[in-house]
Amino acid sequence: MLRIHNSLAREKQAFTPIEPGKVRMYVCGLTVYDYFHIGNARTLTVFDMVYRWLTAAGYEVKYVRNITDVDDKIIDRANKNGEPIEALTSRMVTAMHEDCDRLLMLRPSAEPRATQHIDNMLGLIGDLVTNGKAYPASNGDVYYAVREFPGYGKLSGKSIDDLRAGERVAVDGHKRDPLDFVLWKAAKPQEPHWCSHYGEGRPGWHIECSAMSRAELGETLDIHGGGWDLQFPHHENEIAQSEGASGKPFVNYWMHAAFLNMDNEKMSKSLGNVFTTRAVLDKLDPVQGGEAVRFFLLRGHYRSEINYTWDILQDARGALVSLYTALRDVPPAEFELDWTEPYAKRFFDAMCDDFNTPMAFAVLFELRNEINRTRDAKLSALLCALGGTLGFLQADPAAFVQGEAAGDEAAEIDALIAARNEAKKAKNFAEADRIRDEIKARGIVLEDGAGGTTWRRA
């Protein structure tokens, strides 16, 4: 019933989990040295959507997303800040959770940290050395020997020779082949390190995911996800490590989320267009912002690049407000979700077709139009329930539509509306217009309807 585009097979395939009804899903998480940027937010939100949909479709999902808490960037940043590494990483893990919460993400089932799995990484490295897929070098590093793994390149679709020709790999006398990658790095002064059979050192980045996914989910996973850019070398190396050690397929379905561009340009430090998710959220209305960004991030299909501009973000916010406005105007009836109902079925089919959120969102907008036309409370409940499967439309509609103004300002606006109604009744139209303009200047739109005047944030 569910079809997933498998990056390894390069096609959509029917999804069959290893164990019926259960899904083992691993997603590469963040390196916690700074606030995460809006491109990271896309990948995280896409896999939160996948997690929610698999759950809504009836699967019991174990969702593991790792935290890289030892790495060059972390060490550099901690040194620059003059703080211990653990202080930096624990602060950034807290910030990551805050930002993920604002984007209405569910916490994964497990969030293993690299520093808590050093023994598992050393165990895996030991297995690879024993079966001839890895070798300790004279400098204290341990490398993976890519020539010893026949499948190397199968995810990225490149042969080792193509990769070598295309790589500008520095000559390193300790490696047997320039594409060999490090599993264990010999300790350098002033850096965190652990004892091992190969001497003091710390793990390379790639081994982390192979070791933690094996510890949490076993040797073969149903789904492994990550950003598009991780396919090579990171995921290629994960396959080499995991399959090189177990001799079994590592992942049945590889999923990759496409890039988010900034105003049609690739995000890059040199262009100065890398925005943290936190900075974007802080510029938005606090009531609407998180869900609006989430809506924007999922409005495009996860395998298509999406473009970020302030206007596109505001457009997504407006579209979301229009869904909430329908829910406010026609309060949902008591209701149980029935997937055979025609709207529900179309939504279900769209999501089961490789998580086609643009098509699923189109169903929500059709429902909105019909609710506005028919004022059917059952359809309103259906809209709320369908949106809810993807983490949307669960806030109080009246408060959401009014946004931040729903607090202290709300009473003032209600008083102004009452004064305007009085002026109209007294046929003092100049005064009524003056009050309307004053309300408008606050960024509030009045909606005169049969049931009186309501208002929302423009």
Q: 28 or 287: whose CB is closer to Zn ion?
A: 28
What residues contact residue 408 under an 8 Å CB cut-off, 6+ apart? none
Cα pseudo-dihedral 259, 263, 269, 275, rounded to 10: -90
How many other CB atoms sit within 10 Å of the CB of residue 3?
15
Give the H or E element holding residue 78: helix 72-81
Q: How many residues contact Zn ion, by CB under 5 A?
A: 2
The CB-of-216 to Zn ion minimum distance in angstroms stands at: 13
Q: 232 or 275: whose CB is closer to Zn ion?
A: 232
Q: 239 or 293: whose CB is closer to Zn ion?
A: 239
Q: 211 or 405: whose CB is closer to Zn ion?
A: 211
**Interactions with Zn ion, residue window 24-63 (CB under 5 A):** 28
The CB-of-28 to Zn ion minimum distance in angstroms stands at: 3
The CB-of-238 to Zn ion minimum distance in angstroms stands at: 6
d(CA 338, CA 344): 7
Q: 229 or 366: whose CB is closer to Zn ion?
A: 229
Are residues 223 and 234 in contact, defined by beta-carbon separation less than 8 angstroms?
no
> Applying CB under 5 A, does 209 fall inside the site for Zn ion?
yes
Select the span of 75-83, 205-213, 343-351, 377-385 touching Zn ion (CB under 5 A): 205-213
**Interactions with Zn ion, residue window 423-452 (CB under 5 A):** none
Closest by CA position to 4, among listed 361, 358, 353: 353
**Interactions with Zn ion, residue window 241-280 (CB under 5 A):** none
Select the span of 168-176, 208-216, 294-302, 437-445 touching Zn ion (CB under 5 A): 208-216
Q: 28 or 413: whose CB is closer to Zn ion?
A: 28
Select the span of 22-30, 95-103, 260-268, 275-283 touching Zn ion (CB under 5 A): 22-30
CA dihedral (236, 242, 246, 252) positive or negative: negative
Place of tokens 């408008």: 440
Sort residue 275 into left (φ over 0), alpha (ψ -120 to 50) or beta.
beta
| Sheet with 251-257, side-by-side order of all strands | 60-65, 22-27, 221-227, 251-257
The CB-of-74 to Zn ion minimum distance in angstroms stands at: 16
Site string for Zn ion, 169-198 (x = CB under 5 A): ------------------------------
Q: 254 or 348: whose CB is closer to Zn ion?
A: 254
**What does DSSP say about strands 134-136 and 444-449: parallel, antiparallel, or unpaired?**
unpaired
234 DSSP assignment: I
- Positions touching Zn ion (CB under 5 A) are 28, 209
